[in-house]
Amino acid sequence: MRLSKDWQDYECLDAGNGEKLERFGTVVLRRPDPQAIWKVQDYTSWKNADGIYHRNNEGGGYWDFKKQIPEFWTISYKHLMFKISPTNFKHTGIFPEQATNWEFMMEKIEKAGRKVKALNLFAYTGAASMAIASKGASVVQVDASRGMTDWAKENMKLSHLENCEIHFIVDDCVKFVEREIRRGHKYDAIVMDPPSYGRGPNKEVWKFEKNIYYLIDLCMQLLSDQPLFFLINSYTTGISSTVLENILKTTVLKKYPRGIVSAGEVGLPITKDHLTLPCGIYGRWEENNN
């Protein structure tokens, strides 16, 4: 498992009983987490939560704040800064466990010694885009949500990356890739974080199990002659990292056999009891420099 353990402004304080207790800067939030099914031994620290997210029976949920907190605030990860704001669908605008993938991408770009053009699909609030751009890559980031794209633009300004090449596109990711193929555009790196289920701006339906192979196969036509990496993140329940590994081996590795494919879990260290919270899976193909 790859752990995101270099945070200063974020901390998973405790987890269990289907929830996690997290610190975002100075704000402590308590949220549901389906992976944390072990028992909490001591609830003392949980009483310090500034906000608790409750699910309702109709789907979705709401926040119960124990004290007044800002509508939004910022946290930093090394040289990057991100806007944090609790949303009605439980999220805060960032997935802290993805920092391990940011590190991988930043290191690959730094070592490449050349200009890298990257594509970020299902980009959410653009954390991966900021990491990539901060190391000199030009980035095209695509997301179907205009609100999330505007949030990503705020993260760009917070991280002082306005002079970097970051292009923000509000579009259905599959349709965008199909158009890029027709345009003849190429990318040296592709990262994607597809949801389990979603809809595009024109009500296009996305379902992970049905559409992921088609999209990755399409992306083969966008890769340059010297690709650097191809990274997939997933939170889809029931999908093993081996599935992503197999897809990459039958698509990217088949076309670029000199690369390396790896897959596994991403997670967060839990401060209390030194446990680990599993947070999703990844699969990646990377250029082999050996």
Kindly list the structural domains of the chain, giving each domain's residue range(s) and its CATH number in brackets, ordered by start.
2-84 (2.60.40.1180), 96-286 (3.40.50.150)
Token reading at 48: 């310090």
**pLDDT for the residue 150:** 98
φ, ψ (nearest 5 deg) of residue 236: -70, 120
Alpha-carbon gap, residue 160 to 164, rounded angstroms: 9
- C-alpha 108/C-alpha 257 separation (Å) is 18
Place of tokens 């709401």: 62
Q: Which of these, 84, 83, 131, lies nearest to 106 by C-alpha position?
A: 131
Q: Residue 143 corresponds to which tokens in the numbers above? A: 């997301």
Residues in the chain predicted with pLDDT less than 50, given as ranges, are none
* Element counts in the chain: helices (H) and strands (E): 7, 17
Torsion of CA 77, 79, 85, 87, to 10 degrees: -70
Please name every residue paired with 74 in a beta bridge, in sequence order, or none if there are none: 83
> Which structure tokens are listed for 253?
């590795």
- Cβ(95)–Cβ(127) below 8 Å: yes
Cα–Cα distance measured from residue 245 to residue 168, given in angstroms and rounded to the nearest whole number: 29
Q: What pLDDT shows up at residue 231? A: 98
pLDDT of residue 290: 67
**Residue entry with tokens 């010694």:** 113
